[in-house]
Amino acid sequence: MIVVMNPRSSREQVDHVVRLLEGMGVNSHVIEGASQAVVELLKLDGEFDRRRLEKAPMVDKVLDNPVPILAANRSAGDGAQRPREIPLGPRAVIGGKKLGIIAGPCSVESESGLLETAAAVADAGAVALRGGAFKPRTSPYSCQGHEERGLEMLARAREETGLPIVTEVMCCKHVDCVQPYADVLQVGSRNMHATPLLKAVGEQEKPVLLKRGWSATLEEFLLAAEYIMHAGNRNVILCERGIRTHEEYVRNTLALAVVPEVKRVSNLPIIVDPSHGTGKAHLVTPMCNAAVACGADGLLVEVHTAPDRAWSDGAQALDPDQFRSLIKGLKPFADACQREL
Ligand code: PEP
Ligand code: MN
């Protein structure tokens, strides 16, 4: 159970609620939310006078089994009904009228291949370049990425194309290395539950792209975003990348219903990754169309100059021509949703 205080409540009024609860034999814990404090009841056995609590000064409401989405709540901050706009470097944003399309290879491989891909996706209309230098691979025998050398190649591609770069950070130890190169730090599906990493990316100022854990519920996904925001960084972009189900014809099941649901409960922008969400190149374009149609703020798409020779995830990568056609074909869907490309 939680007690939600009025955004205008003072520290004394919050303390008053804590003391009131103590008097009823209930321990509690104060959470300082983005716009208001919340008092969480820690142990509730036996009787307690709920009405007295509801009537205490500056108590907005007492909720029974709530998910404390405080920082990312739809009504937090300025109460705007639009998603928060998150900068992707100095020129682009995610969460505005223009769709934020992020594209690039799964792994950073050669510098020439990366530059060619970056130029192609920039030309087609992508607003940022993605590419992994630290790769979370399922097998320890698969290539683990070029690490810092890969980050240097990404920085080079940014210099050539002007595209901000989105790249993954896998553990706290790597934050100091990845942070200066990246415009946006990606926390991958495998690490969505890694709370020390969520806190570490929350303590630095670059925006964070948080991918949904493949077994995470929406509630767990939003609470992972809360970890980052609670640590101080309000610039979080959510990314639906599919969940693991009994289904085998796709790599993951792309759960698009979270897009409108996130928009109902939260003010964070959400983008969709149909590459990992399906694992199959021929399904990427239709699912991008569907993602835009249901209100996604952007897309994350894997693009490779020669998908059949990619070091990782070639089966789900589009080549530059396919990517260009994808962007052209999105227009009617974007128009229908009053979005720009
Ligand atoms: C990726 O974006 O390359 C990646 C590893 O994604 P995920 O964390 O969603 O598996
Ligand atoms: Mn990948």
> What would the pLDDT profile of 87-146 be if each residue is shown by its tens digit?
998 889 999 999 999 999 999 999 999 999 999 999 999 999 999 999 999 999 998 999
Reported residue count of the chain is 341
Chain-centre distance for alpha carbon 299: 12
Give the pLDDT of residue 59: 95
For residue 16 the two structure tokens come to 């008053």
Is the full-model pTM beyond 0.85? yes
- Ligand 1 neighbour 212 (Cβ under 6 A): no
* Atom in ligand 1 nearest the alpha carbon of residue 135: 5
- Predicted local distance difference test score (pLDDT) of residue 78: 45
Do residues 26 and 43 make contact, with C-beta atoms less than 8 angstroms apart?
yes
What is the atom index within ligand 1 of the atom nearest the CA of 276? Answer: 9
Instruction: Point out the residues of the chain with pLDDT beneath 50.
Output: 77-80
Q: What is the pLDDT of residue 55?
A: 94
- pLDDT single digits (tens) 244-264: 999 999 999 999 999 999 999
d(CA 335, CA 267): 22
pLDDT of residue 63: 83
Q: How far is CA 204 from CA 83, 167, 183, 234, 321, in A?
A: 22, 15, 12, 10, 37
Does ligand 1 come within 6 angstroms of the Cβ of 132? yes
Distance 31 CA to ligand 2 centre (A): 37
Residue 84 Cβ contacting ligand 1 at under 6 Å: no
What's the pLDDT at 293? 98
Rounded to whole angstroms, the Cα distance separating 337 from 2 reads: 37
Q: Using alpha carbons only, how large is the chain's radius of gyration in Å?
A: 22
Q: Which residues pair with 284 in a beta bridge?
A: none
Round to whole Å and give the CA distance between 156 and 313.
23
pLDDT of residue 75: 64
Query: Is residue 106 in contact with ligand 1, taking CB distance under 6 Å?
Result: yes
